[in-house]
Amino acid sequence: MDQMSFSEAEFQYKKRKTRREKFLERMDALIPWGKLEQRIAPFYPKGKGGRPPYPLAVMLKVHCMQLFYNLSDPAMEDALYEIESMRRFAGLKLSGPLPDETTILNFRRLLENNELCEVIFQTINQHLSEKGMFLREGTIVDASIIDAPSSTKNNTGQRDPEMHQTKKGNQWYFGMKMHIGVDDVSGAIHSLETTPANHHDITQGGQLLHGDESRVWGDSGYTGIEKREEHKDRKVDWFIAMKRGKRSALSKDSREEANEQKKAGIRAFVEHPFRYIKQVFHYGKVRYRGQKKNRDRLYLLAGFSNLLITEKYLAV
């Protein structure tokens, strides 16, 4: 039996749990670790000769913590040395070896190079589907801008060519757009796409529908979506918000205004995943150059968000 260090002993007998401990325990209970490990295991190194790799379960949990707190590779390594609750979550001890920043980087690249981030997202959704979380009768579509650095003070002297600027209201933004399709009952994300920020929301509508819907909800940015060629044979009821100028002319007591309020109440579900991704997981600004790495990151954050959104139903 390994001897307990002083820091581990002090941690074990402290008087209360921190918010980080409570959150990690919550995520540990929600994430289907066994199913995720099965999907990653065929690509994980077996350690034939040389130093054996860390167990897959350990590296997967380290990677998840890195995403929970939006940490860089060096910051994640430092956190493992400094924070006992994070070591316990990953199944590590301060007295034993801890993954360094290169090992953490290599695991992330393993997921990216083998297209495993989207696989993990789909595996989480399949896990939720088996528990009845996706009813597949209606979809809410929406998009949100993820900011990118607009400065040219870098090695290339240029902005990221895969990002773009766009104007929203009276303000200019530079970055990318995250487009999502959300189940209109559970509020969980079932589809995700990314584009430069200047791409119109309506262009990605077809990529966000799974095909089994009987109804689709969207804001006024999707006006006319039913007339597009890719939707001409789609048999759904379209509930698209009225444009602001047209709605302002309605009487507050009119049936049309009551219908718009009902649409807005349903569409509000789509804001919950954006809140988790941007505020809980702190991903309001891109961490990498290019679309792919950021899209891979968003797939994982979308999966985590789905678990948190459906947590109350899973408990029942």
Give residue 291's pLDDT: 95
- Burial label, 144 (beta-carbon count in 10 A; 0-12, 13-18, 19+): middle
Same domain, 87 and 162: no
Give the Cα separation of 309 and 86 in Å (integer). Answer: 23
pLDDT digits (tens, 9 = 90+) for 236-287: 999 999 998 888 888 888 999 999 999 999 999 999 999 999 999 999 999 9
Same domain, 79 and 154: no
Same domain, 13 and 62: yes
- 23 pLDDT above the threshold of 90: yes
Same domain, 310 and 195: yes
Same domain, 97 and 155: no
Same domain, 105 and 139: no
Parent domain of 225: 135-315
- 1 pLDDT above the threshold of 60: no
* Residue 164: closest CA among 147, 188, 142: 147
Whole-angstrom CA distances from 169 to 30, 39, 172, 218 are: 39, 43, 8, 18
Q: Which of 114, 149, 184 is the last residue of a domain?
A: 114
Give residue 248's pLDDT: 85
The rounded Cα 41 to chain-centroid distance in angstroms is: 22
Domain-embedded: residue 157? yes
Domain-embedded: residue 124? no
Give the Cα separation of 128 and 92 in Å (integer). Answer: 29
Domain-embedded: residue 127? no
Average of per-residue pLDDT values in the chain: 91
- Work out the percent of the chain whose per-residue pLDDT is above 90: 78
Q: What is the rounded end-to-end Cα distance, in angstroms, of the chain?
A: 39
Q: Which of 85, 114, 143 is the last residue of a domain?
A: 114
Same domain, 244 and 162: yes
Same domain, 183 and 292: yes
pLDDT digits (tens, 9 = 90+) for 173-220: 999 999 999 999 999 999 999 999 999 999 999 999 999 999 999 999
Same domain, 144 and 283: yes
- 171 pLDDT above the threshold of 70: yes
Whole-angstrom CA distances from 111 to 41, 179, 240, 295 are: 11, 22, 37, 12
Domain-embedded: residue 85? yes
Same domain, 152 and 12: no
Domain-embedded: residue 123? no
Give residue 64's pLDDT: 98
Split into its structural domains, the chain has a count of: 2
Domain-embedded: residue 261? yes
Same domain, 242 and 272: yes
CB-hemisphere CA count at 13 Å for 277? 28
Q: Which of 46, 80, 114 is the last residue of a domain?
A: 114
CATH number reported for the structural domain that contains residue 244 in this entry: 3.30.420
Beta bridge partners of 189: 182
Label residues 207-220 b or e (16+ Cβ within 10 Å = b): ebbeeebeebbbbe
Beta bridge partners of 165: 174
Domain-embedded: residue 110? yes
Give residue 216's pLDDT: 96
Beta bridge partners of 166: 173
pLDDT digits (tens, 9 = 90+) for 72-110: 999 999 999 999 999 999 999 998 899 999 999 999 999
* Residue 147: closest CA among 173, 179, 167: 173
Domain-embedded: residue 239? yes
pLDDT digits (tens, 9 = 90+) for 131-151: 888 778 899 999 999 999 988
Same domain, 141 and 210: yes
Give the Cα separation of 37 and 22 in Å (integer). Answer: 23
CA gyration radius for the chain? 22
